[in-house]
Amino acid sequence: MISFDNTKIAFAGKNDKDLQWSYRLFKMIGKPWLVSFGEFAVKVAFAIYLPVKGMIRKTIYKQFCGGETIADCGTKIKELGDFGIGTILDYSVEGKTSDADLDNTRDEIIATIKRAKTDVHIPFSVFKPTGIARTDLLEKMNDLQIELNEQEKKEMAEAMARVDLICKTAHDLDVPLFIDAEDSWYQDAIDRMATAMMSKYNTEKTVVYNTIQMYRHDRLAFLKKSFKEAEEGNYFIGVKLVRGAYMEKERERAKEKGYPSPIQPDKASSDRDYDLALEFMIEHLDRISICAGTHNENSSKHLAALMDKHGIEKGDKRVYFAQLLGMSDHISYNLAHAGYNVAKYVPYGPVKEVMPYLIRRAKENTSVAGQMGRELSLIVEEKKRRKSV
């Protein structure tokens, strides 16, 4: 069985200075009050034009991002590739509203697809639908009972054209593409987009992947429904399976607006459905390609065991593991060292524009029970090991 306890392998990509910096950063992120203060301080600093970009770039940005441009990410792509880990370039600019900005994001995503085509160390591309469509439009599109006005219909057509061009480029260049998941009040619209793109571009093999968040109690049923539709439509489906990133916000909004929360009652339920989803997909690997996006050691071990049980080669391109840059290196590096397909999400973009993503990462880390303790204990163990050598 795969083990994630080998810290020599886990931190092979970090020198002593990098390891010490990661230790200090995770110590800070482990304090919720400090994360909240940091969020406030950064917003104020940008609002009054204080020169804080350099400090941010050398600290939290360095830990979780690859650079400001695709070219800037070249060093990180090579560093990961040297250890058998792929890179997923994630343009992490979000919340734009003008047509020019939305088109610019579309073009940037297409540029990542073209970059992936030329680099064996970039196995996937990815985009967030909220990066290429206005969020209020997506929210209206989500509810089929809402009648869009003529301007909104025009904008919807433009958004779908952006999605289609991105997916067509991925198909034509043979680069697998993830459509990321979003908040539940956008997700039905996004699922319809993803299904349309999979039925159009996955007729011969999996190119387009939808993302399914298992912290929602309805997603296991949705996965099985998606598979049945793919069978009936004679196309392949790709699934990036994650637990989810917006739990607190989802519950608060459901309470505020008076509708049942879409979130699982507890973590155990999310874990159960995640592993059941892995089992279902492995059993239907003839039509489903999987990327298990998880920082959970047990689920990673479970997928590895399922592959062994079903006689699936470690290097089978239909099965990937993925983690975020700067987190869970003990999972990524040990899996890659054992011969499994592994990739890291590598966010990039201008420092100021990527701050919402970075703040969200920090908040998620403080809210995941045991996450910081596990990261820190492994770093401490590796520091001790290096001193003893």
Q: 3-state DSSP call for residue 175?
A: coil
* Domain map (residue ranges) of the chain: 1-65+354-389, 67-348
Residue 162: both structure tokens together: 């952006």
- Angle of helix 219-233 versus helix 184-201 axis, rounded to 10: 20
User: Are 243 and 210 in contact, with CB atoms under 8 Å apart?
Assistant: no
**Tens-binned pLDDT, residue by residue, of the chain (389 aa):** 899 999 999 999 999 998 988 888 777 766 554 455 455 445 545 554 555 566 677 767 888 899 999 999 999 999 999 999 999 999 988 778 899 999 999 999 999 999 999 999 999 999 999 999 999 999 999 999 999 999 999 999 999 999 999 999 999 999 999 999 999 999 999 999 999 999 999 999 999 999 999 999 999 999 999 999 999 999 999 999 999 877 888 999 999 999 999 999 999 999 999 999 999 999 999 999 999 999 999 999 999 999 999 999 999 999 999 999 988 999 999 999 999 999 999 999 988 788 777 776 666 655 454 566 788 889 999 999 999 98
For residues 350 and 352, give the distance between their C-alpha atoms in angstroms, rounded to a whole number.
6
What is the sign, positive or negative, of the torsion defined by CA atoms of 41, 249, 208, 167? negative
For residues 287 and 281, give the distance between their C-alpha atoms in angstroms, rounded to a whole number.
9
User: Are 63 and 344 in contact, with CB atoms under 8 Å apart?
Assistant: no
Residue 124: both structure tokens together: 């996937």
Inter-CA distances, 285 with 125, 238, 270, 279, 318, Å: 21, 10, 22, 10, 7
Of the candidates 125, 97, 118, 106, the residue with the CA atom closest to the CA atom of residue 165: 106
For residues 175 and 3, give the distance between their C-alpha atoms in angstroms, rounded to a whole number.
31
Of the candidates 276, 291, 268, the residue with the CA atom closest to the CA atom of residue 222: 276
The answer for residues whose C-beta is within 8 angstroms of residue 283's C-beta and 6 or more apart is 310
Beta strands 237-242 and 208-213: pairing type?
Answer: parallel
For residues 43 and 184, give the distance between their C-alpha atoms in angstroms, rounded to a whole number.
27
User: Are 46 and 350 in contact, with CB atoms under 8 Å apart?
Assistant: no
User: Residue 389: CA atoms inside 13 Å, Cβ hemisphere, count?
Assistant: 7
67-348 fold? TIM Barrel (3.20.20)
For residues 285 and 308, give the distance between their C-alpha atoms in angstroms, rounded to a whole number.
14
Residue 192: both structure tokens together: 């319809």
Residue 15 neighbours by CB distance under 10 Å:
10
Q: 3-state DSSP call for residue 71?
A: helix
DSSP secondary structure string, 238-262? EEEEE--S-HHHHHHHHHHHTS---
For residues 337 and 114, give the distance between their C-alpha atoms in angstroms, rounded to a whole number.
28
pLDDT confidence of residue 1: 82
pLDDT confidence of residue 371: 60
User: Are 137 and 152 in contact, with CB atoms under 8 Å apart?
Assistant: yes
For residues 76 and 89, give the distance between their C-alpha atoms in angstroms, rounded to a whole number.
10
pLDDT confidence of residue 108: 97
Residue 320 gets which letter from DSSP? E
Strands (E), 200-341: 208-213, 237-242, 288-293, 319-324
pTM score of the predicted model: 0.92
